[in-house]
C-alpha cells in the first residue's frame, strides 16, 4: 500500500465528524430519493448502493449503470469518504500527480487534511491506482475511528501484509468486512465498487448504532434484583424502569447504577418468582428499550458446615455440642435464617437454630474432646443434603483479638470538634479453633477492656456492638468521646483465656478555633437596616475558618444595635450581621470581637442615614402603549423607585397618609389622548393602582412623581415616559405572544359549560406592530381565535378578557380520556392556534406544546415570618418536635407548579393539592442534628411525613429537608422554648 502522511490530530477530528454526521441514513431507514441501477441485483448490495446514491455519496456512470464489479480508484474512494463524512475540503495540497482542475482535487484535499490517506514516499497521491481490500480496511478504520480487535479465521490470513493485520482485525470486529464464500479474505485483490459501497454503509450503520442506547442483557443477580446492561453509557437521570412479569407490574424499590452508567441494578419490593420478567426502559430513546430474562423461584442450592469440629457447651456438666452451618440459594446468598432443614446425628438428638445458624446435638453420653459423630443436614423440598463426620472439641473461648483501626461512618476525624459523633474501634476476634466470633462473645467472662487515659476517650466491656461496615457485619467497640479532650490514650483488650493483649492508640486532635479575625468595612451601612460585615477568620495554623459553630465561639459585641454570626442554610455559609434596625440616626458604631485565643479586634462602622425614596427610576412589566378605548394599569409592582444610595426602594407597605409613608402621583398635559379612569391619578391609602384610558390617537407624556405622606411633592423625583395611543388602522403587522406549554388535564378536569373556570388554560395575547416597531396589545374584540387541533377548545373572552386555550376531554372527571391525538408512547403533542384579525381578515398561526406532564411543585417561597433566609425557629413541646410542628412552617407559603399555577400544601400533614385537584404527599428528612451538651435526642420515622424528634433541647439545630413530591427545600431549624 502507498505510504501515507497521517496527522493524529486530523484523525481525531475525523472521528468526531463521523459521530456528528447525523444526516447520514442507515439502510433500514432509507426511503427518499431511491435510485435503481439495472446492473445491481436485489439484495444487500442494492440496499447499500441505492441508499448511498440517494444521498449523493456515490453515483453511477453516464449510461445509468453502477458496475458493481469494477475496481475502486483511489480518487473515487476519496470522494466517497469525503462526502459521507462531510469533510472540510478547503485549503490546498501539493501533489504532483493531481491537478487543481481535477474533479477529485477537493476530495483528495479533504481526506489528506483528515489524515485518512495521502501521498506515497515520493509525494504522489496516485489517484488512478486501484484500491486493494486490505487498503480499504485501513482507510475505513481510520476514517470512522473504529476500535476493537478479533482473531482472524480467514484461510488466506497469512497473505495479509503485517501493516494491514490490525486494521483488518478491527474492521472484522466491527462487522465492516467479511470473507468470500470459500472463507478467504483476498487481501491483495482490488476492492469492488459494490463491496466498497457495502463497507461504507456498514460503517455508517455501526456509527449510528453506537449512538443509540440498547439493552444488551437482563439477568437475575439475587433473589430480589435484576441487572440491566446497556451497550453504552446512558443518562441515568432520564432512564425510567418498568418491570413486568407477564401482565403484572412489579414494584421497584431501588435503582443502583454502576460507576460507568452502563448497568443498573433494579431491586424489587418483593422476591422474584418463576416466570419471564420483562424490563422496559423509557426516557433514553423515542421508543422503550426492552429486555427479558427467565427466572426461577428462589431455591436452596447448597448447604455447608462451618467447621468439622463439634464444640462442647461451656458448662462442665453439659452433654451437648454445637456446630455452625450455612444455607445458600442459587445466587450464592445466605438464606440460613429463613430456611428449614432437618438434622440427623449418629447419636443423641439435634435441634436447629436457623436464626443463629447453629445445630445443637444433645443427649450425648459423657462427650469429650476427640470423640467422633456424624451429622446429616437435609433440605427436603430440593433434596439438597450434606454430611460430615465431626470431632468433639473443647468449648469455644476468645483466644485472639486484634484491633483493626478507628471507624466513623461519615469518615470524620476524631477531634474536639467532632467528639459528639459515634467513633468505634473495629475488632477481629477468633476462638482457639480459628473461628470468627461475634460481638456477644466478647463479654465480662471472656475479655477485659481498659483505657490508659479516660479523659481522652474511654470504653468498657459492655460497649462491644455489631455494626454494618461496607455491607458486612463487624464487631465494634464504641468509644465514649462525649467529654473528650485533646490527647492520646491506649485502649487495651485482654483475652482472659489466652492472656493475649490487643492495643490501639486513640488520638483526639485539638479542635479548630478562631485565632485571628479580620473585620472589614461594609460598602454601605444604613440606619434601620441590617448590614453584613465582611470578615475573614483563621485558626492557629493559618487555615481559613468558615464553620458556624467555630465562628459562633467568638465573643462579639457592638456599641449600638446587635451583632452576631448567622448561618445561611441555603448557601451553607456564615455571615456576620450587624443589626441596625433599632438605630434611627447616622452614627458611628464600634464592633468588638474577642477570639477564643483572646485576640481583640475592633471595627468602627460609619452608619449612614436611613434609606428613603428620592426618585422614580422607571416602570417595568407593563406595556404603556394602548389602543383607542383600551386601558393600561400602573401598580406599585410596576414602578421602580430608588433611594439616596441608588438602591431599589420597594414602596410595598409604605403607601399612605401616616408618618413615614409615601404616595405616587401621575400627571398628563391634557386629557385629550390619555385620561385617568374614575379620575384616580394617585396611588395612596385609597387606591393601589392608577388606570389610564386611551382616548384618541397620539403620543402623550405621563409624569410620575413621589409625594410624601402629606401629599407634598418630593423635588427631583419625577419620571417621564411616553405612551402611544394607536388606532387599528396604524398597525403594519401583527404578532402573537408565545404560548407556554398547555397541560392536558382532561382526565381529571372534564370540560363543561363553565370552561372559563378551568385552571390549566393559556391566554392568547396579540400585538399590533407600529411602523416604528413598537408593540401594542390589541383587545380580544379585534380578533377571533380558532384551533384546528383535535382536543383543543378555544374559550371566548369573558368580560373583556382574553381568549383562552383549554384541553378537551370526554368522560367523567377522574376517568376522562383526552381528545388530543398523541404519537405512540409520546407524552407531548403540538397544537396550533389560528388568530384572524376581524377588520382585514389577516391570519396568524401560533404553535404551542400540549403536554401530559403531571403538575409538580416547582417553587416554594416560605412566609418570611416563619422561615427567614432558610432559617426557622420551631418550638418544642415537652422536648418533642413532631412532623406537624415542621409542616406548620409551610403555612402562608407561596407555592407554584411548573405551569405557574398555585399549589396548596397542607400545614398539618404536608399533603399537596394541585390546581387540577390531584394530590401528592410530602416528607421531611432530618439531618445534621447539632446537640447542646450530651446528645440525648431520638429521631423516628425519618424521611417520612411522620418524622418525630424526642429529647430536643433549646438551641439545638438540625436541617429539615422538605420533599414536596420531588421538589426539595432545606430549612435550618433552631429549637426554641414556648
Tell me the pLDDT tens digit for each residue of 99-155: 888 999 999 999 999 888 888 888 899 999 999 999 999 999 999 988 889 999 999
d(CA 292, CA 215): 10
Q: What confidence category does residue 28 fall into, taking pLDDT thresholds of 50, 70 and 90?
A: very low
**What's the pLDDT score for residue 570?**
59
What are the two backbone dihedrals, phi and then psi, of residue 811, each rounded to the nearest 5 degrees? Answer: 115, -160
Are the C-beta atoms of residues 479 and 493 closer than 8 Å to each other?
no
Q: What confidence category does residue 833 fall into, taking pLDDT thresholds of 50, 70 and 90?
A: very high
What does the block give as the cell for 336? Answer: 440460613
Q: What confidence category does residue 757 fall into, taking pLDDT thresholds of 50, 70 and 90?
A: low
Mean pLDDT confidence for 23-39: 49
**What's the pLDDT score for residue 852?**
92
**What's the pLDDT score for residue 286?**
87
**What's the pLDDT score for residue 764?**
96
Mean pLDDT confidence for 88-100: 88
Are the C-beta atoms of residues 556 and 533 closer than 8 Å to each other?
no
Residue 189 or residue 759, greater confidence:
189
**What's the pLDDT score for residue 569?**
60
- Comparing 27-36, 601-610, 660-669, 936-945, the range with the smallest average pLDDT is 27-36
Name the DSSP letter for residue 939. E
Name every residue whose Cβ is closer than 8 Å to that of residue 578 and which is 6 or more positions away in sequence.
522, 525, 530, 531, 532, 533, 558, 561, 562, 563, 589, 591, 605
| pLDDT of residue 577 exceeding 90 | yes
| pLDDT of residue 753 exceeding 50 | no
Q: What percent of the chain has pLDDT over 90?
A: 68
- Comparing 175-179, 786-790, 898-902, the range with the smallest average pLDDT is 175-179
Residue 671 or residue 665, greater confidence:
665
**What's the pLDDT score for residue 660?**
87
**What's the pLDDT score for residue 93?**
87
Q: What confidence category does residue 6 fall into, taking pLDDT thresholds of 50, 70 and 90?
A: very low
| pLDDT of residue 316 exceeding 80 | no
Q: Which of 30-34, 400-404, 438-442 has the highest mean pLDDT?
A: 400-404
- Tell me, letter by letter, the H, E, C secondary structure of 567-589: EECCCCEEEEEEECCCCCCCEEE
Mean pLDDT confidence for 486-506: 94
**What's the pLDDT score for residue 3?**
37
Give me the chain's average pLDDT, please.
Answer: 89
pLDDT digits (tens, 9 = 90+) for 525-575: 999 999 999 999 999 888 899 888 889 999 999 999 899 998 876 567 899
- What is the Cα 629 distance to its own chain's centre? 51
d(CA 937, CA 952): 6
Residue-by-residue DSSP string for 369-423: TT-EEEEEEEETTTTEEEEEEEEEEPPP-EEEEEEEEEE-TT----BTTSTTS--
Q: What confidence category does residue 317 fall into, taking pLDDT thresholds of 50, 70 and 90?
A: low
Residue that has been written with the C-alpha cell 398539618 in this structure: 908
d(CA 455, CA 481): 9
Q: What confidence category does residue 21 fall into, taking pLDDT thresholds of 50, 70 and 90?
A: very low
Q: What confidence category does residue 756 fall into, taking pLDDT thresholds of 50, 70 and 90?
A: very low
Name every residue whose Cβ is closer than 8 Å to that of residue 679 and which is 6 or more positions away in sequence.
none
Closest CA to 394 of 430, 359, 367: 367
**Beta-bridge partner residues of 491:** 451, 504
Whole-prediction pTM value?
0.46
Residue 4, CA distances (Å) to 1, 121, 124, 145 in order: 9, 8, 10, 17
Write out the E strands in 862-918.
871-875, 880-882, 894-897, 904-905, 912-913
**What's the pLDDT score for residue 395?**
86
The HSE-up count of residue 271 (CA atoms within 13 Å, CB side) is: 10
Mean pLDDT confidence for 449-462: 94
Amino acid at each position: 500500500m502507498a505510504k501515507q502522511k497521517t496527522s493524529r490530530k486530523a484523525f481525531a477530528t475525523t472521528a468526531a465528524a463521523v459521530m456528528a454526521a447525523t444526516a447520514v441514513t442507515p439502510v433500514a431507514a432509507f426511503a427518499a430519493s431511491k435510485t435503481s441501477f439495472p446492473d445491481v441485483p436485489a439484495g444487500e448490495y442494492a440496499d447499500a448502493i441505492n441508499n448511498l446514491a440517494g444521498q449523493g455519496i456515490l453515483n453511477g456512470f453516464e449510461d445509468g449503470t453502477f458496475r458493481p464489479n469494477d475496481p475502486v480508484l483511489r480518487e473515487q474512494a476519496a470522494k466517497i469518504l469525503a462526502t459521507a463524512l462531510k469533510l472540510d475540503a478547503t485549503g490546498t495540497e501539493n501533489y504532483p500527480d493531481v491537478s487543481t482542475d481535477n474533479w477529485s482535487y477537493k476530495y483528495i484535499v479533504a481526506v489528506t487534511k483528515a489524515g485518512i490517506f495521502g501521498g506515497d514516499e515520493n509525494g504522489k497521491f496516485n489517484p488512478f491506482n486501484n484500491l486493494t481490500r486490505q487498503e480499504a480496511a485501513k482507510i475505513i478504520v481510520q476514517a470512522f475511528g473504529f476500535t476493537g480487535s478479533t482473531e482472524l479465521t480467514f484461510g488466506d490470513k497469512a497473505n495479509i501484509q503485517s501493516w494491514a493485520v490490525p486494521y483488518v482485525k478491527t474492521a472484522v470486529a466491527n462487522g465492516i468486512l467479511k470473507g468470500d464464500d470459500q472463507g478467504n479474505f483476498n487481501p491483495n485483490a482490488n476492492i469492488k465498487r459494490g463491496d466498497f459501497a457495502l463497507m461504507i454503509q456498514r460503517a455508517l450503520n455501526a456509527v449510528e448504532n453506537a449512538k443509540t442506547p440498547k439493552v444488551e442483557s437482563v439477568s437475575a443477580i439475587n433473589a430480589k434484583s435484576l441487572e440491566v446492561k446497556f451497550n453504552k453509557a446512558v443518562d441515568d437521570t432520564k432512564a425510567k424502569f418498568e418491570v413486568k412479569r407477564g401482565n403484572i407490574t412489579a414494584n421497584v424499590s431501588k435503582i443502583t447504577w454502576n460507576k460507568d452508567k452502563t448497568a443498573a441494578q433494579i431491586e424489587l419490593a418483593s422476591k422474584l418468582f418463576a416466570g419471564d420478567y420483562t424490563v422496559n426502559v423509557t426516557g433514553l430513546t423515542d421508543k422503550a428499550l426492552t429486555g427479558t430474562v427467565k427466572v426461577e423461584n428462589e431455591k436452596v442450592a447448597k448447604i455447608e458446615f462451618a467447621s468439622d469440629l463439634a464444640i462442647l457447651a461451656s458448662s462442665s456438666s453439659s452433654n451437648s455440642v454445637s456446630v455452625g452451618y450455612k444455607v445458600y440459594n442459587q445466587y450464592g446468598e445466605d438464606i440460613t435464617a429463613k430456611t428449614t432443614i432437618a438434622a440427623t446425628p449418629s447419636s443423641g438428638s439435634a435441634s436447629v437454630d436457623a436464626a443463629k445458624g447453629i445445630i445443637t446435638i444433645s443427649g450425648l453420653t459423657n462427650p469429650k474432646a476427640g470423640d467422633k459423630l456424624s451429622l446429616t443436614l437435609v433440605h427436603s423440598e430440593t433434596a439438597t443434603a450434606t454430611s460430615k463426620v465431626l470431632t468433639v472439641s473443647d468449648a469455644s473461648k476468645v483466644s485472639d483479638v486484634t484491633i483493626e483501626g478507628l471507624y466513623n461512618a461519615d469518615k470524620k476525624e476524631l477531634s474536639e470538634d467532632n467528639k459528639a459523633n459515634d467513633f468505634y474501634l473495629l475488632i477481629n476476634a477468633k476462638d482457639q479453633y480459628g473461628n470468627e466470633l461475634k460481638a456477644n462473645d466478647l463479654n465480662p467472662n471472656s475479655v477485659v477492656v481498659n483505657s490508659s487515659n479516660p479523659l481522652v476517650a474511654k470504653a468498657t466491656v459492655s460497649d462491644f456492638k455489631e455494626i454494618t461496615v461496607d455491607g458486612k457485619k463487624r464487631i465494634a467497640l464504641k468509644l465514649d468521646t462525649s467529654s473528650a479532650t485533646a490527647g492520646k490514650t491506649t485502649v487495651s483488650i485482654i483475652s482472659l483465656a489466652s492472656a493475649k493483649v490487643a492495643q490501639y492508640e486513640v488520638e483526639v486532635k485539638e479542635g479548630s478555633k478562631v485565632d485571628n479575625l479580620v473585620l472589614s468595612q461594609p460598602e454601605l451601612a444604613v440606619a434601620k437596616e441590617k448590614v453584613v460585615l465582611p470578615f475573614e477568620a483563621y485558626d492557629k495554623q493559618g487555615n481559613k475558618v468558615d464553620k458556624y459553630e467555630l465562628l459562633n465561639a467568638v465573643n462579639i459585641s457592638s456599641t449600638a444595635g446587635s451583632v452576631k454570626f448567622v448561618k445561611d442554610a441555603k448557601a451553607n455559609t456564615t455571615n456576620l450581621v450587624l443589626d441596625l434596625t433599632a438605630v434611627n440616626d447616622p452614627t458611628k458604631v464600634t464592633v468588638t470581637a474577642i477570639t477564643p485565643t483572646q485576640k481583640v479586634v475592633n471595627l468602627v462602622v460609619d452608619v449612614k442615614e436611613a434609606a428613603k425614596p428620592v426618585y422614580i427610576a422607571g416602570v417595568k412589566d407593563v406595556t404603556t402603549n394602548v389602543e383607542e378605548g383600551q386601558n393600561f394599569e400602573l401598580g406599585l409592582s410596576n414602578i421602580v423607585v430608588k433611594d439616596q444610595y441608588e438602591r431599589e426602594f420597594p414602596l410595598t407597605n409604605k403607601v399612605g397618609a401616616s408618618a413615614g409613608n409615601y404616595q405616587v402621583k401621575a400627571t398628563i398635559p391634557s386629557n385629550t389622548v390619555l385620561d385617568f379612569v374614575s379620575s384616580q391619578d394617585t396611588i395612596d391609602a385609597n387606591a393601589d393602582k392608577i388606570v389610564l384610558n386611551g382616548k384618541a390617537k397620539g403620543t402623550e407624556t405621563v409624569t410620575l412623581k413621589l409625594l410624601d405622606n402629606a401629599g407634598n411633592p418630593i423635588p427631583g423625583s419625577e419620571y417621564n415616559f411616553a405612551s402611544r395611543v394607536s388606532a387599528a388602522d396604524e398597525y403594519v403587522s401583527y404578532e402573537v405572544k408565545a404560548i407556554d406549554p398547555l397541560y392536558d388535564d382532561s382526565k381529571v378536569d372534564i370540560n363543561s359549560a363553565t370552561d372559563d373556570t378551568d385552571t390549566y388554560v393559556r391566554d392568547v395575547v396579540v400585538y399590533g406592530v407600529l411602523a416604528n416597531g413598537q408593540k401594542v396589545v390589541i383587545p380580544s374584540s379585534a380578533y377571533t381565535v380558532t384551533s384546528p387541533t383535535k382536543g383543543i377548545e378555544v374559550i371566548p373572552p369573558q368580560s373583556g378578557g382574553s381568549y383562552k386555550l383549554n384541553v378537551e376531554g370526554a368522560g367523567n372527571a377522574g376517568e376522562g380520556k383526552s381528545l388530543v391525538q398523541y404519537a405512540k408512547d409520546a407524552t407531548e403533542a403540538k397544537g396550533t392556534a389560528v388568530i384572524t384579525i376581524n377588520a382585514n381578515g389577516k391570519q396568524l398561526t401560533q404553535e404551542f406544546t400540549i403536554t401530559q406532564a403531571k403538575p409538580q411543585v416547582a417553587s416554594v417561597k416560605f412566609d418570611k415570618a416563619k422561615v427567614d433566609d432558610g432559617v426557622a425557629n420551631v418550638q418544642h413541646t415537652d422536648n418533642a418536635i413532631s412532623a406537624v410542628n415542621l409542616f406548620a412552617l409551610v403555612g402562608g407559603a407561596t407555592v407554584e407548579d411548573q405551569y405557574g399555577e398555585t399549589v396548596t400544601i397542607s400545614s398539618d400533614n404536608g399533603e399537596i393539592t394541585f390546581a387540577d385537584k390531584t394530590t401528592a404527599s410530602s416528607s421531611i428528612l432530618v439531618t445534621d442534628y447539632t446537640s447542646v451538651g450530651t446528645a440525648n435526642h431520638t429521631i423516628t420515622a425519618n424521611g417520612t411525613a411522620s418524622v418525630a424528634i424526642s429529647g430536643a433541647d433549646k438551641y439545638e439545630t438540625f436541617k429539615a429537608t422538605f420533599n414536596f413530591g420531588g421538589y426539595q427545600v432545606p430549612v435550618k431549624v433552631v429549637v426554641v422554648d414556648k
